[in-house]
Amino acid sequence: MTDAPYDLAPGDVTPFDKAGRMAASGVGIYTIGLVLAVILTATSFWVANTSLLWAHGVSVGLVVLAIAQMGIHLVFFLHISTAPDNTNNVLALAFGVLIVFLVVVGSLWIMTDLNTNMMLSAGSMNLMQH
């Protein structure tokens, strides 16, 4: 008896894709991910150290490359996709991104507010000098 692709539990690996062709091996997927990650990392170093780009465009370029790098890691190394059997993975990822976003924005908000409240006014500076 042979195992049909539809007879697998979610997360089980089948050697065939839906069209019946041999699926890519795990080593091949990781190799592709590694090559893409190295290319994006090298490009990030080039963007940070070049004078060919507009100065304000460097930070935008680095953000775009960082988001692309995260996408490469999620797809090729963590195997998170939008397939029907990965719904829980995608929801967990979305929740994690929300929590990280809230922590970063909250931290920036608190630091900005503290910085504003900690600055001495001109009247306070005169009192301290006398």
Burial class (CB in 10 A: 0-12, 13-18, 19+), 22: exposed
Find the range with the poorest average confidence among 21-25, 63-67, 93-97.
Answer: 21-25
Find the range with the poorest average confidence among 88-92, 108-112, 118-122.
Answer: 118-122
Asked if residue 85 has pLDDT above 80, the reply is: no
CB 82 within 8 A of CB 90: yes
Asked if residue 14 has pLDDT above 90, the reply is: no
Query: Tell me: the pLDDT tens digits for 40-82?
Result: 999 999 999 988 888 888 888 898 999 899 889 988 888 887 7
Helices 55-72 and 26-49: angle between axes, nearest 10 degrees:
170
Residue 22: what are its φ and ψ, rounded to 5°?
Answer: -70, 125
Report the predicted TM-score, pTM, of the whole model to 2 decimal places. Answer: 0.57
